[in-house]
């Protein structure tokens, strides 16, 4: 079993829909990152969380440390939100290793 699991793997939705992507992890962490990767490869950091909730524009990220679970929400989704969304955790350890989920491929239809 992977240490970081994301769901769903693929998601297609209509423009305007509310989107939720989930991330569960099985290791102790010091931080959780939500990342966005567009075709071509470049990765952009959306959020870094260690507790609670953060909001940036139409994006909201929450984390429940006790349940080892995080969600990324997109309100009023738009075709430009189409991308791969990756959850990554920084493991509590001497090496601060980053462990990535496999990503959720989101496609928003106009």
Partner 1 sequence: ETGVTQSPTHLIKTRGQQVTLRCSSQSGHNTVSWYQQALGQGPQFIFQYYREEENGRGNFPPRFSGLQFPNYSSELNVNALELDDSALYLCASSTKTSAGELFFGEGSRLTVL
Instruction: Kindly tell me the sign of the dihedral angle through the C-alpha atoms of 3, 92, 66, 37.
Output: negative
Q: By CB under 8 A, tell whether 42 contacts partner 1.
A: yes
Q: By CB under 8 A, tell whether 67 contacts partner 1.
A: no
Stretch that binds partner 1, among 16-24, 44-52, 60-68, 72-80 (CB under 8 A): 44-52
Residue 18 CA to residue 55 CA, distance in Å, equals 15
Residue of the chain from 7, 10, 14, 45 that contacts partner 1 (CB under 8 A): 45
**Contact call for residues 50 and 97 (beta carbons, < 8 A):** no
Residue 18 CA to residue 23 CA, distance in Å, equals 17
**Long-range contacts of range 55-62, CB-CB < 8 Å, 24 or more positions apart?**
61/34
Q: How far is the CB of 65 from partner 1 (least distance, A)?
A: 14
Q: By CB under 8 A, tell whether 110 contacts partner 1.
A: no
The residue ranges that bind partner 1 (CB under 8 A) are 30-31, 33, 35, 40-45, 48, 50, 86, 88, 90, 92-103
């Amino acid at each position: 079993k992977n240490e970081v699991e994301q769901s769903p793997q693929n998601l297609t939705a209509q423009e305007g829909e509310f989107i939720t992507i989930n991330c569960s992890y099985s290791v102790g962490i010091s931080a959780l990152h939500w990342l966005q990767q567009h075709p071509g490869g470049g990765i952009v950091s959306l959020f870094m969380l260690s507790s609670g909730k953060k909001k940036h524009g139409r994006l909201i990220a929450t984390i429940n440390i006790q349940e080892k679970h995080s969600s990324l929400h997109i309100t009023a989704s738009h075709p430009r939100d189409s991308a791969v969304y990756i959850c990554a955790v920084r493991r509590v350890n001497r090496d601060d290793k980053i462990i990535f989920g496999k990503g959720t491929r989101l496609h928003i239809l106009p």
